[in-house]
Structure formats: C-alpha cells, structure tokens
Amino acid sequence: MHYDVVIIGAGLGGLECGYILQKNGKKVCIVEKNALIGGCLQTFRRRGMSFDTGFHYVGGLEKGQMLHKLFSYFGLMDLPWVKMDNAFDEVFIEGRKYTFRNGFDNFQKTLTEAFPHEAENIAEYVSLLRKVGENTNNSFSPRDNDEFYSQSLFAQSAYEYLEKQFADPALRDVVSGTSLKLELNAEKLPLYIFAQLNSSFIQSAYRLQGGGMQIAETLRKHIEEMGGVVRRNAEVTGVVENDGKISAVVINNGTENIEADFFISDLHPATTMNILSDSKLIRNIYRKRICSLENTYGMFTANIALKPDKIKYLNRNIYAYEHGDLWHQDFTDGVSAILISMQPPFGGCEFTQNIDILTPMNWSKVERWIGTKIGNRGNEYDNLKKEMTQKCITLASKYIDGLADAIDEVYTSTPLTYSDYVGTAQGAAYGIRKDYNKLMFTVLTPRTPVPNLLLTGQNLNLHGILGVSMTSVFTCAEILGMQNITNDLNNY
C-alpha cells in the first residue's frame, strides 16, 4: 500500500499530525510499535480505576484561548472536561502556602497581597505573561524562524529575568512554584518556555474526567472515520531510500514495507537517528549533534488507589517543596518536591478514588537497569521504588489529612518505566533540554536533512499538551502550507 504520509509513532503529536493531514485530503498511515497508542497520554486500569501516566491538567482551554481553538479543530472539546477551581494550584514552600488563581487580574491581585512590596514588579511580570498569551495566538503567522528564535524570549534566560525582575527571592520561588510541569534549569531554560507555560494555565485550567487516553482514542477514531489508518504493534526498524529520499519504512524487521511520499517521526530525534543508522542521507555531524542533545529529568510517580470515601476530592493541584531556592534543587537523593493531583470522580461523588504523586527523578538513578524487563529488575530496583514511594507519601501526608491510612494500593513508575513503555529517551518528562545560549542546536525545526522526513512532538520547541499541539501544526505546514491550515483553524 502506498500512502501520501506515513507517521512513525502514535503519541499526541503523531495523532494530531495524522488528523490534520487526513482532514486536508492526504492518505495517512500512522504506525505505532506498542499495543497502546497515546504515548504519555496512556492510562492504565487497576481494580476498575483508571490512572494517568503523563497527563494531569491543561491550560488555555477557555473559548478564545489557543488550546480551545486547537482542540475544537481536533474535535476534542466534547470530552468530559472539568474546569478546576479558580484557585487551581496551591504552592507550599517550606510549609507556607501561596495560591495561583485563574485570570491575570486575579493572579496579580493574589500575588500582590502576599508580596505588597513587589507590587510594581508583579504588575510588569503579569504584563509579560499577558503578552506571551496574546502572541501565542499569532504563532501561526508567517515568520523567519532563525530571526524569531534569536531575537525573541527564547534567547533570554528565565532565571536571569526573574533575578532582575524581583528583589525578593521568596517571590522568585513562588512564581516558579507550579513548575514541576517544566524543568527549572537556571543555566539553560529560555524565558519564553517558562512564560508560555505559566501564562496558559493562568488563563484557565482543566482536568479530564476519565483520563488522558480519551484524547488519543478520540483522535484515532476521527482519523479512521476520515479514511486514515492507525496500526498498532507495527515497529519501524529501518527505511528504504531511493533517489535521495525515503521511499518506505521497514516494519518489524522486514515483515513489511510501507511506502509513502512523506514521512513524519513523532519519536525522540535520537531514536529517529537510530532507525536511520544506515542512511546515506544523514551526515555524521548532524547525527552526532542530535544524539548528543541533553534530555530533561524524568519523574517518579506513585499512583495511589484509595479506600472508598476516605479522601475528599480536591479540584486543584498541590505543589509542595521542602526547601526554597527552587531553581537549584538537587533531585539526586530523596524527595523534596512533589505534585499532588487527583482525577475528577464520577457521579458527583465528593470523594476521590485515586491520587497521583509525582516527583523529579534523574535518569542516573535507574540507568543501571537498562535492558532489564518490567517486573524483573531485581530487589534493589524494587527497594528503590518502595523507598521513593514512602518518601512521597510522607511528604504528601503533610497536605492531605489521613492519606496514609486511606491507601489501598500503590502502583509506581520511574523514568525507566516511561522509557520502556512509551519510548521516551531517558524517561525525559519534557523532552530535549532547551538552552537559550544554544537555540539553533536545542530548539529543533520540523525539517531534517532528508527532504521528505519531518519531525514533530515535544522535543522540537515546546512541550506539554499545548506545545505539542502547536508543533503538529508547524510540522504539517511543511506539507500543506501554513495558510491552508490556518484558514481552517480560524473557523474555530
């Protein structure tokens, strides 16, 4: 079978690219090596409960905001979205509580009440967040990428900006306090990534009742209804090249070749290079550059099943830090920072069935078990997970009364789990580590040296649900032209 486009990987980026292209008349085949699609959107079920792996909440989903436009376009707004409390995030730093509220005015008012001596600086910071939010809506306008990245907030340090903007180090910590959804790297993190993520969640915050897998399955359903193909258990193990292009992908070590005019990889770029290990179209200098890029840290997750009617549902998240100076936390040992998140219960129940606790975990903690199989990694690995679990529960119990006595069962995952299940390089929670000092090397474009091979996903420029969704548009624009996509998007 010959297709217009073959997409490698059925994560969010791959599925969204498949939707856009099929919607625009291209014949699409998405191939996924695993039995489950969705990548980090995957959920798993235990004892009738569903648990999320990498999805917990989204920002910018109100009408008029970017994710609402994109998800309306993708046919995802009919899912059971639950708007979170106006006070959608609570941040505890060394025991002191701070609140993040939806709406820039509300956010500014609450922050100013906590730090009245920084009122003018807070106003300037919120103004920046507003502008970034407004500019997000213009992201699909024509631009010169090289000039944009070199002259924009991408080329500025987030940490240096906060140091100059706020005299009070406690305030610098607080505005960074919901940032376990990105890596706070003082030496490298671009200001735009920091501001864009915070801006979108301050605009609005939503959870999804029933888990993130619904996003992936809804996209799959739409793609197949439009005539596209989504194949599971179909691993791309090589490519066929002719006339300076890729002509086909090799499936499951040669059991089948699938031909196409264009190919899109939703895999980590280094994994894509591994598939192209014998390619004559990739120069070694490019291959080495891609494979040497640093990855962000991963996450240890404790998915906790609760006894019935024990813990009341909180329609907000809790971020808790044992120590200040959030930009210089050491996650090599122990658990000093956690995100506590709950899934919305069904039927109006006031109690939650499960709680997810996440804490940063470096790849170095688990890399010695590379090559071992899930469930058979040995006692030392199991003991590491038990130790991490207990530390997470001990810290979370300071903020969730009665948690320890309410636990029925705990299911855990490490960066190695993410690497094995969804192919995330080093289990990186946020993809490739972006460096404002070396933008042209760490912020990747969809184009590759192979003229008919494109990239998509969180490793290119922005991570998170919004970032990946925007990137899928940029990738497909290389085939369809941006104007053709935006003409359709503007109807939503």
pLDDT at position 150 is: 46
Asked whether residue 32 carries a pLDDT value surpassing 50, the answer given is: yes
C-alpha pair distances (Å), 382 with each of 32, 387, 414: 29, 9, 11
| 248: CATH | 3.50.50.60
317-321 β-sheet, strand order? 96-101, 87-93, 317-321, 337-342, 354-361, 298-306, 407-413
Q: Looking at the structure, do residues 422 and 482 belong to the same domain, yes or no?
A: no
Q: Looking at the structure, do residues 290 and 322 belong to the same domain, yes or no?
A: no
Which segment, 4-13, 421-430, 453-462, is predicted with the most confidence on average?
Answer: 4-13
* Position 125, amino acid: Y
Q: How many other CB atoms sit within 10 Å of the CB of residue 49?
A: 18
pLDDT at position 5 is: 98
Q: Looking at the structure, do residues 413 and 484 belong to the same domain, yes or no?
A: no
Q: What is residue 93's three-state secondary structure?
A: strand
Q: Looking at the structure, do residues 350 and 378 belong to the same domain, yes or no?
A: yes
Q: What percent of the chain has pLDDT over 70?
A: 98
Predicted confidence band of residue 426 (pLDDT cuts 50, 70, 90): very high
Per-residue tokens: 230:
């989504």
List of E strands, 253-297: 256-265
Domain count, the chain: 2
Half-sphere exposure of residue 5: CA atoms within 13 angstroms, side-chain side: 32
Name the packing angle between helices 66-73 and 464-480 (round to 10°): 60
Per-residue tokens: 376:
């058979």
DSSP 436: G
By residue range, what is the domain housing residue 455? Answer: 2-50+212-294+432-489
Q: Is residue 66 one of the residues assigned to a domain?
A: no
| 350: CATH | 3.90.660
Predicted confidence band of residue 212 (pLDDT cuts 50, 70, 90): very high
**Contact indicator for 30, 230 with CB cutoff of 8 Å:** yes
Q: Looking at the structure, do residues 108 and 194 belong to the same domain, yes or no?
A: yes
pLDDT at position 334 is: 80
Q: Looking at the structure, do residues 228 and 375 belong to the same domain, yes or no?
A: no
Q: How many other CB atoms sit within 10 Å of the CB of residue 459?
A: 32
pLDDT at position 263 is: 98
- Tell me which of 406, 427, 448 is where a domain ends: 427
CA 44 to CA 61: how far, in whole Å?
25
φ/ψ of 16, rounded to 5, equals -65, -40
Q: Is residue 249 one of the residues assigned to a domain?
A: yes
Q: What percent of the chain has pLDDT over 90?
A: 81
**Contact indicator for 289, 33 with CB cutoff of 8 Å:** no
pLDDT at position 40 is: 86
pLDDT at position 27 is: 98
Q: Is residue 71 one of the residues assigned to a domain?
A: no
For residue 443, give the nearest of 305, 269, 207 by alpha carbon.
269
Per-residue pLDDT tens for 348-369? Answer: 899 999 999 999 999 999 999 9
Going by C-beta distance under 8 Å and a sequence separation of 6 or more, which residues neighbour residue 35? 232, 233
**Considering the entire predicted model, what is its pTM?**
0.95
Per-residue tokens: 209:
């009742």
Q: Is residue 196 one of the residues assigned to a domain?
A: yes
* Position 12, amino acid: L
pLDDT at position 52 is: 85
Q: Looking at the structure, do residues 469 and 484 belong to the same domain, yes or no?
A: yes
**Contact indicator for 220, 230 with CB cutoff of 8 Å:** yes
Per-residue pLDDT tens for 366-400? Answer: 999 998 988 889 999 999 999 999 999 999 999 99
Give the chain's mean pLDDT. Answer: 93
Predicted confidence band of residue 316 (pLDDT cuts 50, 70, 90): very high
Q: Looking at the structure, do residues 95 and 175 belong to the same domain, yes or no?
A: yes
Q: Is residue 76 one of the residues assigned to a domain?
A: no
CA 215 to CA 52: how far, in whole Å?
12
CA 419 to CA 271: how far, in whole Å?
11
CA 442 to CA 463: how far, in whole Å?
13
* Position 242, amino acid: N
pLDDT at position 395 is: 97
C-alpha pair distances (Å), 211 with each of 29, 343, 363, 404: 25, 7, 26, 24
Q: Is residue 57 one of the residues assigned to a domain?
A: no
* Position 135, amino acid: N
- Tell me which of 411, 427, 443 is where a domain ends: 427
Q: Looking at the structure, do residues 185 and 309 belong to the same domain, yes or no?
A: yes
Per-residue pLDDT tens for 127-154? Answer: 999 999 988 877 776 655 555 544 688 8
Per-residue pLDDT tens for 82-101? Answer: 999 999 999 999 999 999 99
pLDDT at position 190 is: 95
Q: Looking at the structure, do residues 180 and 109 belong to the same domain, yes or no?
A: yes
φ/ψ of 142, rounded to 5, equals -60, 140
Q: Is residue 60 one of the residues assigned to a domain?
A: no
- Spell 155-183 as b/e; 16+ CB within 10 A means b: bbbbbebbeebbeeebbbbbbbbbbbbbb
Q: Looking at the structure, do residues 202 and 240 belong to the same domain, yes or no?
A: no
Q: What is residue 129's three-state secondary structure?
A: helix
pLDDT at position 144 is: 54
Q: Looking at the structure, do residues 373 and 275 belong to the same domain, yes or no?
A: no
Question: Which burial class, exposed, middle or buried, applies to 418 when counting CB atoms under 10 A from its CB (0-12, 13-18, 19+)?
Answer: buried
**Contact indicator for 415, 363 with CB cutoff of 8 Å:** yes
Number of H helices, E strands in the chain: 17, 19
Q: Is residue 75 one of the residues assigned to a domain?
A: no
pLDDT at position 243 is: 94
- Tell me which of 374, 399, 427 is where a domain ends: 427
The rounded radius of gyration (Å) of the Cα atoms in the chain is: 22
Asked whether residue 72 carries a pLDDT value surpassing 70, the answer given is: yes
Per-residue tokens: 182:
């990105």
